[in-house]
Structure 1
Amino acid sequence: MTAGGSAELEAERQLALASAHEAEALAARERAENFMAASKSERRTVQALAPLVAHGYHLIPDRQWPGSRRAQVDLVVVGPSGVHIVDSKAWHEVTIAAGHIYRGQADVTDEFDGLAELAWKTEAALAEVGLAPGEVRAVAVFTGKKGISESVNTVELVGDADIARHIARRGQRLTPAMVEKVLKAVLDFFPHVSSPAPVALTIPEPVLESRPVELDIAELPSADEIQAQLLETLLAPPIEEWMAFLHPDQAKLVRRNFSGPARIRGAAGTGKTVVGLHRAAYLARSRPGKVLVTTYVRTLPVVLGNLLKRMAPEVADRVEFVGVHALAKRILDERGVMVRLDGRKATELFNAAWVAAAPRLSPIEPERDYWKEEVESVIKGRGFTRFEQYADCARVGRRRALGVDQRRAVWDLFVDYEARLRAARVHDFADLVLLAEQELARKPLEGYSAVVVDEAQDLSCAMVRMLWSIGGDGTDAFTLIGDGQQTIYPGGYTLAEAGLSVAGRGVILDTNYRNTAEILEAAATIVASDQYTDIEDAAALRYEASRPVERHGKRPIRAAFATRAEHDAALVSHVRAVITSIDTGLGDVGVLCTNNGDAKRAAILLERAGIPTVDLLDYNGVPVEKVKVGTIQRAKGLEFKQVLLPWTDATLLAPRRSADGDAASRDEKAERERRVLYVGMTRARDGLWVGSVGNVDAGTTPRHQ
């Protein structure tokens, strides 16, 4: 080394060290500026949300990110509308397009994955105190922005000018007692930040910009504006919001694990359908593959699908809603199995077969439709191919006993009908299911990780077998939801007949969250003396009353009129009266009838009176400012704030003494009609009007009650 070389090297080393310190000092200053900007944006977010404190909301700032030593959560909001995990962003240039978010030209969508995951973990933790899935929301708030209303990877994106309204518009989802319980759990789950994060070279670059925040709005909304928003959301949310609301007591059930096929049952109003909806969303989040949700009512799947999109849009593409017949048809179409489904022609062919069978069967029961139900539901609904199977069948739900010779006559009717179908190359709806079941036995259907079946009591035995073959016996793979008390179709079945057991994996819901105590009491009187059978047991059961929550309202109106004109005028008048209420819109009203003819007449009557209507066949679960009109059968699984049941058979409303009730319970058709009426009445959340034409016992059913 030459003279002075050592000093030169040392000088270079010191210069490099000085440069490194200067760079680190500059970086530290930039980080400080970023953190100061973050602090300002977080304070501004708190300022925007401050008016909510007066309405039962709690703002919890600067908590530790669970599972992390250094990361922290800007703000957690707990209040009547649920739990909101808030992350403030002081980004100058923000663009949201096609499910992605851009900061300038950079795609930063992945930066929100952690916040989405935190919401998922928080939801799991708070389920232990009864908070329903979906009540925890991850929110990114952009400082100085207005009019942003987007969602990326389950994270809601909103400007700070709109954040208070955004949180308030979810309405009153938690009671004050539940808010306090959730608040305590949140404080435990998100611990205090013990100390500021130490300055270190390994600190990741903050995502906030160092430039001063430029606001493009003048002021945040005032407390009065927030108050107006709260009042609006509390008084008049559409019924669709209520239909997707899960009571906190049911939160654990949604996430409960079952080691095999399971069943959830309970009386009307206990929340079975909404539990199934939330369970489908939970399963879609927690396992690969699609979740299939199906039911007998062909119009219900599209309604449930749109409710899920409102409730959990992030998993909407992973939950498939389809009616059981539509599913069977699709399976056959995809596999090239030719089917000529013609219900009208099939009825003609059955009627021709009945002419030959009538001499032997009409002395037992003169009604042709009774024997059509026997063939379609009891024989074909089980997929019987041999008389011995039918001869030994329990015929669950059928009140009229049949001996062996009588069953032989029914079997001959069935064989004749089948021969006529084959000769005409026509299939009925039962054929559709049986053919699909055969195809699935030949080649199972793949791609579904779970199957949820709503209104399972209305399915046939063959339908349950078909769906079970899709779901299978895995953990949480097959869930049946239904209530034997609401069976409105003939020819029930038992799970044992399908070869299926849910022993030890059944849950009973016994609290009615939908109906007022007055509506529930009125509906109960219709079926209290009747019997029914359940899919888990062929034994005859009596009405099981659910426990109503402490919610009261006006007594249901049961009105009898001497003429149809008087009845129709009262119907229109009552619709006009209920929609003047501040909490009831046109779309919250349901006019439900026992048959399609009456439903069409009701729609014409209301339209002529200037009241817009939508047929339940066309209703898709999206809020609409039209009165919903249709049959009670189409309304299964739906709810309305106000229900009107026009042209009701007055004899179904008359009270029965116990002896008369025992005699009437043997009349299968009358029992079913009363169950249909019971289903219609229990669709009502707040108000019920039942109208009939003709004389009714004035001592028990006054003109107006």
Structure 2
Amino acid sequence: MPNLIMTKLKGQDHEKAVRAKIMSFLSKLTEDDTLPGLHIEPMNEPLDSRARTGRVDIHLRAVLYCLEPLAGERTYVYAGTWEHEEAIKRARTRKLQINPVNGIAELIEAEPAVDAPAPAAPKVWTESAQAGAAPSSFLTEKSYFVADLTDEFGFPADLAAEAFAAATEDELLAFASDLENEWQSGVLLGMAMNLAISQIKESLGITEADDNAVVTEPAVADEVAEPDRTEDERLVEALKHPAAQMQFTFIEGEEELQRVIDGGDFGAWRVFLHPDQRRYATRSYKGPFRLTGGAGTGKTVVLLHRAKHLAEQHPTHRVVLTTYTRALADNLRRDLERLDPDLAQASAPGHPGVLVRGVDQLVAAVRDAAGTGFGAAAQSVLGAVVESRGAVVANDSGWDDAVDDADVDLPAALRSKSFLSVEYLQVILANRIVTKDDYFTVRRPGRGVALDRAKRAQVWAVVEQYRKNARIANRLSFAEVASVSAAWLEGADGESPRTFADHILIDEAQDLTPSHWRFLRAVTASGPDDMFIADDTHQRIYGQPVVLSRLDIAIVGRSRRLTLNYRTTEQNLRYALGLLEGGTFIDAQGGEEGVAGYRSSRLGPEPKSLPTQSASVQFAVLAAQVKSWLDAGVDGATIAVLTTSNNAAKDVHDALDHHGVASTILTNAKQSGDRPVILTMHIAKGLEFSRVILFDISEGSFPTPWSLKGVAAEDRDDVMLRERSLLYVAASRARDELVVTWKGKPSELLLRSE
């Protein structure tokens, strides 16, 4: 049975009926490529003698390259389905080869030698050059040379000249996005980020002496070419190069073939990984590893592939994949099943296989497993034994009552539940403080307000009252349950320590509390590949910053950043990053996290602002924008209106209905149906849409008044930082087009980007 390699190509967004025909053709091809109905035919005078076409239907033909390794089955590289004449042309004029410099398998275009025309002059991308002015070069200004592309990476001379004809960054990105070979686009994107040649090579998995590189000097070729291997065998190996796997993938079975054909652009993450993504997904680490990166850079993709990799490498191990909320965990579970429906999933916490749960779901499972031991373990965290069962409440519940009952003379700012709940979470629970003396001596980094001994004594009186009230009511906060569960895992009940996972992978880690981190550290024993952490400091929309070293999680030297955005366009990315200007973001290592270096692999229109003077006009403008997209044939399910609250979402739904636009309100992070959707910015986290409207980003509406209500003055800056991050999260949901509306004056958080 022949093997099949699929190729990621532009211009292959076929309709469902055509995809079904392609699936049928390729299925038959892999069963028996000699079937007469397939019409597998070689080309007349092709550039590549391996080129073939096959009949998909009366109008469509598949382009194929037939490789015949001596030691294995015949292998077909599928290079797309095209109209008959276009397929014939592509099969005659494109060659599948090993790049002679870097060893990466690639498709190159040229006319067959028998009728090759004179080479065309390089395309000039600059308007100034077309007008007769002396052309400038973006790459030259970045101190690159044409030889960097030709000699270091193996670009053809004409293609390198075209790249150096780009006068601006946008012109270079436009040129890169049109290239057929993904590795070439990757090189130019790296140069747009002004990376060193060595950094670009490392990112693409290109080594100085690549085993697949073709040696052109005959004397060396005799020593290195490995005469026992045919050119086709070498080409099959070159197709496995990390950079080639951005574009080519080996198909194993009909189900995987169906997933690749049906995946389209939104599903490419399941198959075609950047070498950096593949490296992080499969490499082994000596301890906790942190992968950071902006929205859309593929952190979750790496996490999913790593879960699959660990489960396949260690079938008896317990692999836990977790995130901040249950809804996000449900999305992870769905995507993991899409990645590999046959992947072994654990039946319960602590069992072999992959277990996907929200972090508080994991905490609840451990509490259940602890039984009476949970109550005993509470002594080390809360200073008293508690009931093993009881109500679980929000982390900010009960503080107003504790202040009233304690009857202390605290300043107003320190009496607020905002200050007290954060002090309890970030300082007292994080350090397992159970006595006043311990509280007097504990460090409080990052809290923003100094407390002398007298104020600490008053705060501690409120904390004691809070804990006393909770015991009487038989309740614990979510953070307390996590902290006690961690203590039980560590053996605070007098038993030996226990673990529930061999590997734990954490998504959206920037939103976790210190109690969560104590718990997750205890879930798995310290050792190789124990914790894999994916976060983005700029997407922290809950809680406060956490420095992991203070919680016994050492990531120094084991932290890397993804910078290439796969979701949104370069224009939308710049807009979203602009919303972060003016904020200081502290990462999990305690350092400042900037936004420099991020780039997108896609271009599109500039984000559009729609200012209005009244609520009614804003609704009308919103409806007109949604209608224009629908009239243009945009799939309704890929259009989203993001709001600040559920009430605002209902108002938008009613207004769209009034203007004749049917829509659906989403109350959780699950896409469904075929209508435009309305959801809050918080719910939108983890989702993506083709078109996005940020609704009513007006002065007085965003940030919402309630987000600042009762907030201590010392905490206001951090709340505003989270609101800025929320706006960034919302803007970065848009793949293709982004629209922002407001009435009256825009929000102060928009002013830097408008």
TM-score range, shorter-chain basis? 0.5 to 0.7
1:279 corresponds to which of 306, 309, 326: 306
Shift of 1:398: 3.9
Q: Find out whether 1:493 has 2:546 as its counterpart.
A: yes
* Mapped contact 1:123–1:135 kept (Cα < 8 A): no
Whether the 8 Å CA contact 1:456–1:481 is kept in 2: the answer is: yes
Contact 1:530/1:542 (CA < 8 Å) preserved in 2?
Answer: no
Q: Which residue of 2 aligns with 1:503?
A: 556
Separation in 1, partners of 2:589, 2:582 = 21
Are residues 1:330 and 2:422 paired? no
> Which secondary structure state, in structure 1, belongs to the residue aligned with residue 561 of structure 2?
strand
Residue 44 (structure 1) aligns with:
38
- The secondary structure found in structure 2 opposite 1:650 is coil
Of 571, 576, 601 in structure 2, the residue corresponding to residue 518 of structure 1 is: 571
| Structure 1 residue ranges without an equivalent (≥5) | 1-36, 81-121, 141-162, 174-238, 655-662
- Offset of 1:295 from its aligned partner? 0.8
**Residue of structure 2 aligned with 1:646, choices 695, 706, 713:** 695
Q: Render the CA deviation track for 1:480-500: whole Å, top value 9, x for unaligned.
A: 110222222233221111111
Q: Deviations over 1:386-413 (max 9, x none)?
A: 4455555555554444444434333322
**2-structure distance, mates of 1:688, 1:388:** 54
User: Per the alignment, do residues 669 and 365 of structure 1 end up closer, same or farther by CA in structure 2, a change over 3 Å counting?
Assistant: farther
Cα distance, 1:565 vs structure 2: 2.1
- Could you tell me how far apart the structure 1 residues matched to 2:388 and 2:639 are? 39
In the alignment, does 2:686 pair up with 1:572? no
Aligned to 1:321: 356
SS in 2 for 1:504: coil
Q: In the alignment, which residue of structure 2 is the partner of 1:137?
A: 251
Task: Give the alignment partner of residue 467 of structure 2, picking from 404, 408, 418.
Answer: 418
Is the aligned partner of 1:77 residue 2:78? yes
Separation (CA, whole Å) in 1 of partners of 2:355 and 2:340: 13
Partner of 1:156: none
Measured after TM superposition, the shift of residue 553 of structure 1 is 1.9
Offset of residue 641 of structure 1: 1.8
- 1:381 is displaced (CA, Å) by 4.9
Shift of 1:429: 1.0
Distance 1:647 1:165, change over 3 A: same
SS in 2 for 1:497: helix
Please list, as runs of the form range in 1=range in 2, the aligned pairs for 1:440-455 lying within 5 A after superposition.
440-441=489-490, 442=495, 448-455=501-508
Within the alignment, does 1:309 sit opposite 2:337 as a pair? yes
Structure with more relative contact order (C-alpha pairs < 8 Å, separation 6 or more): 1
Please say if residues 346 and 421 of structure 1, whose CA atoms lie closer than 8 Å, have aligned partners that are also in contact: no
Q: Deviations over 1:368-425 (max 9, x none)?
A: 4333333344433554334455555555554444444434333322221111111111
Measure how far apart 1:686 and its partner are. 1.5
Aligned partner of 1:252 in structure 2 is 279
- 1:126: which partner in 2? 240
Distance in 2 (CA, whole Å) between partners of 1:414 and 1:557 is 49
Match of 1:313, SS?
Answer: coil
Q: 1:527 aligns with which of 580, 594, 599?
A: 580
* SS at structure 1 position matched to 2:725: helix
Would the aligned equivalents of 2:322 and 2:358 in 1 still touch at CA under 8 Å?
A: yes
In 2, distance between residues paired with 1:696 and 1:350? 35
Deviation at 1:646, TM superposition (A): 1.8
C-alpha displacement of 1:343: 5.7
Deviations, residues 94-131 of structure 1 (Å, cap 9, x unaligned)? xxxxxxxxxxxxxxxxxxxxxxxxxxxx9998253352
2:728 to 651, 664, 678: 678
Distance 1:167 1:468, change over 3 A: closer
Superposed CA offset, 1:626-655 (max 9, x none): 43433323332222222222232437989x
Q: 1:346 to 1:508 in 2, by over 3 A?
A: closer
**Contact 1:595-1:631 within 8 A present in 2 as well:** yes
Match of 1:458 in 2: 511
Say if 1:382 and 1:461, in contact at 8 Å, map to a contact too: no
Could you tell which deviates more after superposition, 368-377 or 496-505?
368-377
The amino acid of 1:693's aligned partner reads K
Is the 1:378–1:492 Cα contact (8 Å) retained in structure 2? no
Change (3 A) 1:392 1:476: same
Q: What amino acid does structure 1 have at the position aligned with 2:335?
A: L
Secondary structure at 2:548 match in 1: coil
Q: Is the 8 A contact 2:403 2:415 kept in 1?
A: no
Q: Is the 2:640–2:692 contact (alpha carbons within 8 Å) kept by the matching residues of 1? A: yes
Q: Which amino acid aligns with 1:322?
A: R
**Whole-angstrom distance in 2 between the partners of 1:411 and 1:487:** 29
545-554 or 254-263, larger mean C-alpha shift: 545-554
> Deviation at 1:433?
0.7
Secondary structure, aligned partner of 1:430: helix
Contact persistence 2:298–2:565 (CA under 8 A): yes
In structure 2, what is the equivalent of residue 230 of structure 1?
none
Question: What percent identity do the matched residue pairs reach?
Answer: 26
Match of 1:625 in 2: 674
* Shift in alpha-carbon separation, 1:569–1:313, aligned structure 2, 3 A: same
TM-score by length of 1: 0.64
Tell me, yes or no, if the aligned pair for 1:131 and 1:251 is still in contact at 8 Å. no
Gap change, CA 1:687 and 1:608, over 3 Å in 2: same
Which position in structure 1 is the counterpart of 2:103?
none
Tell me the amino acid that sits aligned with residue 612 of structure 2: F
Cα distance change of structure 1 residues 604 and 370 upon mapping to structure 2, 3 Å threshold: farther
Q: Secondary structure at the match of 1:558?
A: strand
Equivalent residue letter for 1:329? A
Per the TM alignment, residue 595 of structure 1 is displaced from its structure 2 partner at its CA by 3.4
Give runs of aligned pairs for residues 34-433 of structure 1, distance below 5 A: 40-41=34-35, 44=38, 46=40, 50=55, 59-61=64-66, 63-64=68-69, 71-73=72-74, 75-77=76-78, 126=240, 128-129=242-243, 131=245, 135-139=249-253, 166=258, 169-170=261-262, 239=266, 246-247=273-274, 249-287=276-314, 288-315=316-343, 317=345, 319-336=354-371, 342=391, 349-356=398-405, 360-364=409-413, 367-381=416-430, 383-387=432-436, 390-391=439-440, 395=444, 397-433=446-482
| RMSD of aligned Cα (Å) | 4.2
> Displacement, 1:548?
1.4
- Contact 1:641–1:684 (8 Å) recurs in 2: yes
Question: 1-side partners of 2:420 and 2:282: how far apart?
Answer: 44
Deviation string for 1:136-175 (max 9, x for gaps)?
A: 32235xxxxxxxxxxxxxxxxxxxxxx99958834666xx
Flag structure 2 segments of 5+ consecutive residues without an equivalent: 1-30, 43-54, 82-235, 347-353, 373-386, 704-712
2: CA distance between counterparts of 1:630 and 1:123? 47
2:87 aligns to what? none
